Every structure is written in structure tokens, then in C-alpha cells.
Amino acid sequence: MAYIILASSSPRRRELLQQLGLNFDIHSPDIDESFLEQESVKQYVERLACTKAEVVFQQYPDSIVIAADTTVAVDHHILGKPESKQHAFEMWQLMSGRKHNVFTGVCVHTKQEKLSIVVCTEVEFQTLSLNDMESYWDTGEPIGKAGGYAIQGIAARYISKILGSYTNVVGLPLHETAQLLQTVKALN
């Protein structure tokens, strides 16, 4: 049986994948994550997940590589990780009092197969006051998070509803990832 590699340095993805009871190593690739012109958000996260998987698979061709990429989108506009406090506030103002989507592309790559899927979860934020945004920024939690928030952390207090996979919003849709792994193990 090939060993499993998670192609991500995300502590959240590591913790989620551990919930499946798997033993795995971590090797995070360095890839260009630029958004391509005319690319949909769905195409973007799937391309990045597959590129990460391919880069790591080339280094470890006898392995099962799992890669993922998560992005937050409002009206088909990607909201990346906040570059500054002002940037975070701009993103939160876009999400305040409305719904947005969290997309995660997942790719599982083996010698025999390369399978991918994109999972979308709808998240609804309450209306955020300036005080809410100031308080949340001061926690430090938004830094390094797509959309500037962590649903599994303090930001949960601002989320009124989700429709879809909770683990997708955290960074790795577990049900769908387990299904991909079952498929590739059946093929190997």
C-alpha cells in the first residue's frame, strides 16, 4: 500500500485529515497561486489543488497525494487572505449581512489515477458593526485565513447560517475527501 502525503502546510487540513484516522506525511509545494483571466472560482481552486498534487507526486511517485485549496468568494470575486487591517475590513464589509461561498478544490493523485472535486458551502454572516470588526481583528485570528476569518474559531459568533459542508469551510471537506480516497484505493 502506498503511503499518503498531504500536500499542504495548513494546520487545519492536517487536523481534519487526522480525523479520518489516516497516517500521512506532509510536504507542502511552492506554487504560483495567481488567478488566471477568465477562470471561474471553481476552476481556480481545482487547478491549484491539482497543481499542488502534481508537484508533490512528481517527488513521491509511489504515494497517494492529497492536495486542497480553499477560497472565499462573494459575487464571483475571490477574497484571499487579508494583506492588512484595511483589506480585512473591506472583505468583511462585503460579507456583512449577506451570504458568500467557500470553495475547496481537492485532488487525490496516485500512479493510476488523478481525481478531483470542488465543494462549495454557502456561509451567511450577521451584519458586522465597526466594533465587531475591530474586536475580531484584535484577536489576530483573521491573519492568514481565506476571507479573513476562521469558522472554527472566534468568527463562529458572527456566522448565522451555513449550507453545506462545515469541514469544507475549515479547509478540507472530509466526506468528499474520504470518497476520493476510497475510489483511488479501489483502483490501486
122 beta partners:
101, 163
Q: What angle do CA 120, 166, 188 make, to 5 degrees?
A: 70
Cell of 38: 477568465
Q: Which of 69, 75, 132, 138 is catalytic?
A: 69
Question: Which CA distances in Å does 177 have to 29, 66, 122?
Answer: 19, 8, 19
Say what angle helices 130-139 and 85-95 make with each other, to 10 degrees.
130
Return d(Cα 146, Cα 74) in angstroms, integer.
Answer: 12
Positive or negative torsion for Cα 6, 45, 173, 175:
negative
Q: Give yes or no: 75 in active site.
A: no
Cβ neighbours, 10 Å, residue 25: 11
Length of the chain: 188
**At 91, which amino acid appears?**
M
| Residue 137 near residue 160 (C-beta atoms within 8 A) | no
Catalytic residue set = 69
